[in-house]
Structure formats: structure tokens, C-alpha cells
């Protein structure tokens, strides 16, 4: 029914443009260093004693300001390598600047996704509305827009194949029907991988333990602060672990979120071993009978095998403190890096077996299509989305509401 060959040619042209952008991003990220693996801890080598050279200290609330500059001089070669990798990552980042949310923005998901929506659906309404019937041009244009919106080649191809199949099977010729079918297929893809349990459910007799990981600057610490705010407001006892021990400023940042939300933070600037902080935090959260422990980790590139090993070690040490933990390992993905997010998710998932994602900066210039590629290709659920920098700017991910907002569609 449709000119598949002609479309394929157009698709390849569109994909080439897109690939160039993706390759630039990937090359920039892959320029990262690969420091050697950290020394094995006692717990790592099979002993049950934690590698905790220092006693855990619960951070006393204070009026300390959050240091946002670089931390003190690195103490060791390892630290220097890491600091270089952070600097490289920052320098090579092609992530577009995220606009500061305007105070007049309303809090609805629809308004928060305004820029993202325009990236995906600029003119999409016109595309469907302006057409009286479904033809090759309409399908081709739709396909190009999905690819350009970071939906990814494989997922776009699958969506287009299902759409054309539906059109030919049901003999429909109404563009509105095509739009509704696209909506349904997008929602189904996201719903297929969503968890059935509510996030961070209470475990029987022990805290629910979440580890949050991702590359530098993706929004890990901010998302943890927002999660603390959310769960605290629900009346849960929350503990945070400052296991990004590399930068003093990172610990201070988490402490500041803790103070603002009246949530305690385990860890302090100067602690050397992230696994040791995590171990102490699990022990402390268990002793206090916390409902939830959220562990912040240092940013790392998925290409840095030494730092990825260190993350694996942190997770194994947590399991020494609580055999059932961690319950979740969440990857924070900055949606504005586009297709490179898929590469990151795939490699983090290989290294540490992720349970899900938090997708941040969807209030910015991100195109949003990446969530479909991640759901489709990796089968990972998205638990929360970040739509701003404030404490309340984290939303549980709801496929229908998300696709409604993205496609500028009236909810049913
Ligand atoms: N607009 C917007 N900004 C965000 C969002 N999430 C995080 N940010 C901002 O992104 C920047 C980096 O956030 P962090 O939470 O420090 O990122 P991180 O992953 O902890 O970074 P490292 O600890 O350096 O690896 C901060 O300026 C945050 O305010 C979001 O959903 N929307
Ligand atoms: Mg951080």
C-alpha cells in the first residue's frame, strides 16, 4: 500500500543526519579516561567485615552553604584520574544548556514538557490535521520526525511497521485514526515495561534500598533530593547515603538537600571509600528501622571500566550489610543527550543490572523520544521523570499522561 522503498531511502537520509549528531555525542563521551580498578575491600574479598575505616557519622543539620565549585585537591593518583575524567566529561559534554524554569510556569506535566513536546511534535498536529487521507508522504514525514525526536531507528521502524499494518488491515484512510493508533502504540510500549508495584515499597522488616548511578551531571543528587522530599512528605522515614566520596561538594550538596527536607544523611566530606559509606548507611538505616535508604554515587562514564567496577563493588558491599539489598539500582539519564542515553543505559545495565531509570531534564530541550527507545530496546521501566530543578519537580512516570503531553493530545 505504501512506497516502502522510497520511504526507506528517505529514512536513511534522515538517519544519516541523526547519526552524525549521535556519533559526535558518543565520541565526546567515549573520550573518557579508564583509570585502574580500585583496590578490593575486605567485604569484596569475601569477608563479612565491612571496609569501614571510619565510623559512620550522621550529619548534624547546619546552615552550611552548598559548595558548587570543585572540591579540594585530589589526595591520590586515583583521585586525580577521576577529577580529570570529570573535567573531561564536562568539557566534552555537548548537552545543550537547560533553560532555567520560569517562575510563571504552571506545574502541570503538559506545561513542563512544552519544549520537549515541541522537539517531538512541532507541527505534528498540523501534519495530521492538514491531511485528508493517509498517504506515503504522511508516513514518511512521521517516520522522519520520530527518528529526529530520538525515538531511535529500531523503535521507529517497529512503530511505522505496526502503523502501516493497521492501516492496510483495517482499510483506514483517516489521518486522525493514524494519530490515535500512534498514540496507542507509544503508550503500549511504555506500559509493557512499567512495574506493577508502587515505587520504593516498604520491605518487611528492613529498609528499601535504592542505589542511584549515572554519568556526571545527569541529575543524580538532585533527583535523590527530590525523592527524599517526596517520600518524606508521604510520612516515610528516609535515610540518604553520600557515597559520592570523590568530591566534597557532592557530599555537601546531598547534605543540603537533607537539611531542607529534614532527612538525615550518612557520610561526610573526606570519607574515602564509597562502598564503606554505603555499608555504614545500610547498617544505620536498619538500626533506625528506616523505610527507605537512597544511595548517591559519583558520576562516571560508562566507558570507564575501573569506575564501573567500583560501582559493582559498592552494590556487592551493600549486599554484605543486607543480603536482599539493593532493591533497586536506578540509572539517571539526562534526556537532552538523546540517543547516547541508550548507549549509556545499555552499558550500565551490563555492568550492574539496572532495575529502572530516572529520566531528567525533560523540561529542557530534550526531545523525549529516547524513553521509547529505552523501553523498547532494553525493557527497562522509567520510574520517575525530572521536569525542573526544584524539590517538587520529579514526577512518577505515567505513560498515558506522558504521551498525551508529548503528542499534545487531549486525555481520554
Ligand atoms: N532543568 C532541570 N535541571 C535539572 C534536572 N535535574 C537536575 N538538574 C540540574 O542538573 C545539574 C546537575 O545535577 P546534579 O544532581 O548535581 O547531577 P549529578 O548527576 O549528581 O552530578 P555529579 O554528582 O557531578 O555526577 C544541576 O544544576 C541540577 O539542578 C531536571 O529535571 N531539570
Ligand atoms: Mg551528584
Give tens-digit pLDDT for 337-349.
Answer: 888 899 999 999 9
The reply to whether ligand 1 has any atom less than 6 angstroms from the CB of 221 is: yes
Would you say the CB of residue 112 lies under 6 angstroms from ligand 1?
A: no
- The average pLDDT across 191-201 equals 78
Q: Give the Cα separation of 134 and 128 in Å (integer).
A: 9
Q: Is 93 in the pocket of ligand 1 (CB under 6 A)?
A: no
Examine the pLDDT at 10 and tell me if it is beyond 60.
no
CB of 78 shorter than 6 A to ligand 1: no
225 lines ligand 1 (CB under 6 A): no
Atom of ligand 1 at shortest range from CA of 216: 25
Which residue from 196, 195, 207 is spatially nearest to 325, judged by alpha carbons? Answer: 207
* Crossing angle for the helix pair 370-378 and 175-191, to the nearest 10 degrees: 50
Check pocket membership of 220 for ligand 1, CB cut-off 6 A: yes
Q: Is the pLDDT at 91 greater than 70, yes or no?
A: no
Identify whether the C-beta of residue 105 lies closer than 8 Å to the C-beta of residue 113: no
Strands (E), 253-349: 264-266, 292-297, 328-334
Return the ligand number nearest the Cα of 216: 1
How many A from CA of 296 to the centre of ligand 2? 7
* Amino acid 233: pLDDT: 94
* C-alpha–C-alpha distance, residues 277 and 57, integer Å: 10
Q: How confident is the model at residue 334 (pLDDT cuts 50, 70, 90)?
A: very high
Amino acid 407: pLDDT: 80
Please, what is the angle between helix 153-170 and helix 175-191, to 10°? 130
351 C-alpha vs ligand 1 centroid, how far in Å?
23
- Which residue's CA is the nearest one to ligand 1's atom 3? 389
Closest CA to ligand 1's atom 1: 388
Instruction: Tell me the C-alpha distance between 87 and 93, whole Å.
Output: 10
Quickly state the pLDDT bin for 331 (edges 50, 70, 90).
very high
pLDDT tens digits along 359-379:
999 888 777 888 999 998 899
Q: How far is the CA of 400 from the centre of ligand 1 (A)?
A: 26
Quote the CA–CA distance of 277 and 342 in Å, as a whole number. 30
199 touches ligand 1 (CB under 6 Å): no
Q: Is the pLDDT of residue 51 over 50?
A: no
Q: What is the pLDDT of residue 208?
A: 95
Is the minimum distance from the CB of 361 to ligand 1 under 6 angstroms? yes
164 C-beta closer than 6 A to ligand 1 = no
For the CA of 226, the nearest atom of ligand 1: 6
Confidence of residue 145 (pLDDT cuts 50, 70, 90): confident
- What are the pLDDT digits (tens) for 150-161? 888 999 999 999
Q: How confident is the model at residue 123, as a pLDDT?
A: 53
Q: Which atom of ligand 1 approaches the CA of 98 most closely?
A: 1
State the chain's mean pLDDT as an integer: 76
pLDDT band, residue 269 (cuts 50/70/90): confident
| Residue-wise pLDDT tens digits, 99-129 | 333 333 446 776 777 766 665 556 566 677 7
Q: How far is 318 from 30, CA to CA, in rounded Å? A: 29
Amino acid at each position: 500500500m505504501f512506497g516502502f522503498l522510497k520511504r526507506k531511502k528517505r529514512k536513511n537520509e534522515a538517519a544519516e543526519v541523526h547519526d552524525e549528531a549521535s556519533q559526535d555525542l558518543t565520541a565526546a563521551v567515549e573520550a573518557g579516561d579508564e583509570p585502574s580498578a580500585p583496590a578490593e575491600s575486605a567485604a569484596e574479598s569475601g569477608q563479612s567485615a565491612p571496609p569501614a575505616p571510619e565510623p559512620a557519622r550522621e550529619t548534624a543539620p547546619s546552615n552550611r552553604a552548598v559548595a558548587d565549585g570543585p572540591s579540594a585537591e585530589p589526595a591520590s593518583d586515583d583521585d586525580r584520574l577521576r577529577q580529570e575524567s570529570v573535567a573531561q566529561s564536562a568539557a566534552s559534554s555537548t548537552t545543550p544548556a537547560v533553560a532555567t524554569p520560569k517562575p510563571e510556569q504552571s506545574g502541570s506535566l503538559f506545561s513542563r514538557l512544552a519544549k520537549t513536546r515541541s522537539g517531538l511534535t512541532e507541527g505534528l498536529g498540523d501534519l495530521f490535521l492538514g491531511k485528508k487521507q493517509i498517504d506515503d508522504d504522511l508516513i514518511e514525514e512521521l517516520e522522519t520526525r520520530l527518528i529526529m525526536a530520538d525515538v531511535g531507528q529500531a523503535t521507529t521502524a517497529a512503530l511505522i511497521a505496526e502503523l502501516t499494518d493497521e492501516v492496510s488491515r483495517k482499510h483506514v484512510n483517516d489521518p486522525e485514526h493514524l494519530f490515535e493508533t500512534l498514540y496507542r502504540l507509544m503508550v503500549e510500549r511504555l506500559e509493557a515495561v512499567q512495574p506493577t508495584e508502587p515505587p520504593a515499597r516498604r520491605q518487611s522488616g528492613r529498609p528499601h534500598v535504592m542505589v542511584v548511578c549515572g554519568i556526571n551531571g545527569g541529575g543524580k543528587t538532585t533527583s535523590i533530593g527530590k525523592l527524599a522530599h517526596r517520600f518524606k512528605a508521604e510520612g516515610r522515614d528516609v535515610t540518604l547515603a553520600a557515597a559520592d566520596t570523590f568530591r566534597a561538594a557532592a557530599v555537601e550538596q546531598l547534605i543540603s538537600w537533607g537539611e531542607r527536607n529534614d532527612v538525615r544523611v550518612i557520610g561526610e566530606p573526606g570519607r574515602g571509600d564509597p562502598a564503606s559509606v554505603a555499608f555504614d548507611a545500610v547498617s544505620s538505616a536498619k538500626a533506625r528501622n528506616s523505610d527507605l535508604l537512597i544511595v548517591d554515587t559519583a558520576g562516571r562514564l560508562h566507558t570507564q571500566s575501573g569506575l564501573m567496577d567500583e560501582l559493582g563493588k559498592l552494590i556487592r558491599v551493600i549486599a554484605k550489610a543486607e543480603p536482599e539489598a539493593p532493591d533497586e539500582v536506578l540509572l539517571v539519564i539526562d534526556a537532552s543527550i538523546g540517543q547516547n542515553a541508550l548507549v549509556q543505559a545499555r552499558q550500565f545495565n551490563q555492568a550492574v543490572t539496572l532495575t529502572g531509570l530516572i529520566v531528567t531534564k525533560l523540561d529542557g530541550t530534550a526531545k523525549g523520544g529516547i524513553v521509547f527507545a529505552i523501553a523498547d530496546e532494553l525493557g527497562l521501566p522509567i520510574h520517575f521523570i525530572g521536569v525542573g530543578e526544584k524539590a517538587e519537580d520529579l514526577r512518577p512516570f505515567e505513560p498515558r499522561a506522558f504521551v498525551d503531553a508529548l503528542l499534545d493530545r487531549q486525555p481520554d
